[in-house]
Amino acid sequence: MHPFSRSMQVDLHASWWIGPIEIPTRLVLAPMAGVSVQAFRRQGRRYGAGLVCSEMVSCAGLQHRNERTLGYLRIASDERPLAVQLFGSEPEVMAEAAVMVERAGADIVDLNFGCPVKKVTKTGAGATLLEDPERACRIVEGIADAVSTPVTVKMRRGLEDGSRACLELGPRLVEAGATSLTLHPRSARQMYTGEADHSLTAELVRLVDVPVVASGDVTSRARATEIIERTGATAVMVGRAAQGNPWALQEILDGRAGEPSRDEVVAELIVFIRETAGELGEERGTGFLKKFYGWYLGRGRFPKAFKQELVQLATLAEVEARLLAAAPGAHEELARLEAELPDGDDVLLDLPISVYGGG
C-alpha cells in the first residue's frame, strides 16, 4: 500500500504538469487505434479529460509520407493539451517522426512500448521494446534530443504473464529523458483478458520521480479514486469505458451519475458522425463509424435491432435521419451542442493540404 494512501485526498480536478505542459484534470483519455479520431478526442476534452492522445502513429508511415499516416497529424486547437503517440523501432526514424509531430502542434510526444499486436511486435516495436531496454532507451534519448516538447512513454507490464519488465525499464526511461510514464499493467500475452494488476503501478510510482498515469479497468469514479489512492499515481487513463460513452468521464470527474437521455445520446452521436465525416471523408467514415453505433446505442439505451438497422444504411445522411426519427427531441439538443462547440481551427503543417485525407 502506498505510504500516503490513508491521508490522501484525491481531487481529480487538480491540475498537474508534464514538463512545462499543464494538464487541467487527473483524467487522461486513452490512445486507442481505430477509435481515437479527432471527434473522440475533442469530445473527451469537452467531458473533462485533461489530456487526450492520438492513436498510435507509424514512424515508418511518416518517414514514407504515407497519406493516411500523415492524416493522423491533424490537430485542432481545442484538443490541446494533446499527445501524439508514435510506434516504431528505429531510433533515427523515430526522432525524425517526432520532429514532424512537434511541428504539427502536438504538446507531447508519447511513445508506444505496449502494443501487443503481432504485426507491430514482430517489427521490434510496441511491447517488444519492454524487453529490449538498450534500444528503448536509445529511442527515448534520441527523441528527447530532437524535440523540445516533453517525451512520455506508455508501457505494459512486460511480454509474459507475471513479467516485471516495466519496473526495470521505467527508471531507465526516465533517466533517458521520459517526463511521464503510463502503465497498463497487463502483459502483452494477456491482451485484454484478466485484470490490470495495479500493484505494479504502485511499485513504479515509488521508483520514479515523474508523474505516473494508471491505465486499465478505470470504469467509474469509485475505481479511479481507489486506484489513485492505492498506487499514488498522478492521474488515471480511461479507454474502453469511454467508447460511445463520454458520460463515463463526467461521472469519474464529478460523480454525476445517471444515464444520459436518448436525446442526449443521439445528439452526441450525430456530432461525432459529422466531425468524423469531416476528418476521414464520407466513404471511409461510413465504415469506420459502424462500431460506434453499438457503443453509443447499446448499454440498454436502444433496442439491439436499431443498431442493426443503422449499419445497413448506405449514407451517413440516412443514419442521421433515422437517428433523429428515433429521438425527435435530439434536434434541440443537437442545436445546443453545435452552438457550444468550439471552432477548433486546424493547426497548419508545412505540407500540402491534400495529404491530410478526408475533408
Ligand X SMILES: Cc1cc2nc3c(=O)[nH]c(=O)nc-3n(C[C@H](O)[C@H](O)[C@H](O)COP(=O)(O)O)c2cc1C
Choice between 22 and 195, CB closer to ligand X:
195
> Nearest approach, Cβ of 31 to ligand X (angstroms)?
4
**Residues within window 168-197 making contact with ligand X, judged by CB under 6 A:** 184
Is-contact 201 183, C-beta < 8 A? yes
Number of residues that bind ligand X (CB under 6 A): 22
Q: Which stretch binds ligand X (CB under 6 A): 136-144, 213-221, 250-258, 291-299?
A: 213-221
- Examine the residue annotation and report whether 115 is marked as an active-site residue of this protein: yes
β-partners of residue 237 are 28, 215
Q: In the chain, which ranges are continuous DSSP H helix? A: 38-46, 59-63, 67-71, 91-103, 118-121, 133-146, 165-176, 199-207, 221-231, 247-254, 262-280, 282-297, 304-312, 316-326, 330-340
Burial class (CB in 10 A: 0-12, 13-18, 19+), 161: middle
Is-contact 293 305, C-beta < 8 A? no
> Nearest approach, Cβ of 273 to ligand X (angstroms)?
19
Cα-trace Rg, the chain:
20
Binding string, residues 263-302; x marks residues near ligand X by CB under 6 A: ----------------------------------------
Structural element, H or E, at residue 85: strand 82-87
74 near ligand X (CB under 6 A): no
| Dihedral (Cα; 209, 158, 248, 29), 10-degree rounding | 60
> Nearest approach, Cβ of 270 to ligand X (angstroms)?
23
Query: What are the backbone angles phi and psi of residue 234, rounded to the nearest 5°?
Result: -75, -35
320 near ligand X (CB under 6 A): no
> Nearest approach, Cβ of 271 to ligand X (angstroms)?
21
Specify the length of the chain in residues. Answer: 359
> Nearest approach, Cβ of 112 to ligand X (angstroms)?
5
Task: Find the binder of ligand X among 25, 69, 85, 89 (CB under 6 A).
Answer: 85
Tell me, what amino acid is at 249?
A: L
Choice between 196 and 323, CB closer to ligand X:
196
Q: Which stretch binds ligand X (CB under 6 A): 43-51, 107-115, 227-235, 320-328?
A: 107-115
Task: Find the binder of ligand X among 40, 41, 55, 74 (CB under 6 A).
Answer: 55
Instruction: Return d(Cα 229, Cα 25) in angstroms, integer.
Output: 16
| Dihedral (Cα; 160, 206, 111, 193), 10-degree rounding | 40
Choice between 69 and 262, CB closer to ligand X:
69
**Residues within window 215-254 making contact with ligand X, judged by CB under 6 A:** 215-218, 238-241
Cell of 89: 523501432
154 near ligand X (CB under 6 A): yes
112 near ligand X (CB under 6 A): yes
Q: Which stretch binds ligand X (CB under 6 A): 6-14, 33-41, 172-180, 290-298?
A: 33-41
Residue 282 neighbours by CB under 8 Å, 6+ apart: 315, 316
Is-contact 179 149, C-beta < 8 A? no
Hunting for cell 525499464 — which residue is that?
169
Q: Which residue is nearest to ligand X (CB)?
A: 239
| 82-87/108-113 β-pairing | parallel
Choosing from 59, 115, 137, 166, the catalytic residue is 115
Q: Which stretch binds ligand X (CB under 6 A): 209-217, 255-263, 297-305, 319-327?
A: 209-217
Choice between 71 and 216, CB closer to ligand X:
216
Tell me, what amino acid is at 337?
A: L
Residues that bind ligand X (CB under 6 A): 30-35, 55-56, 85, 112, 114-115, 154, 184, 215-218, 238-241
Catalytic residues: 115
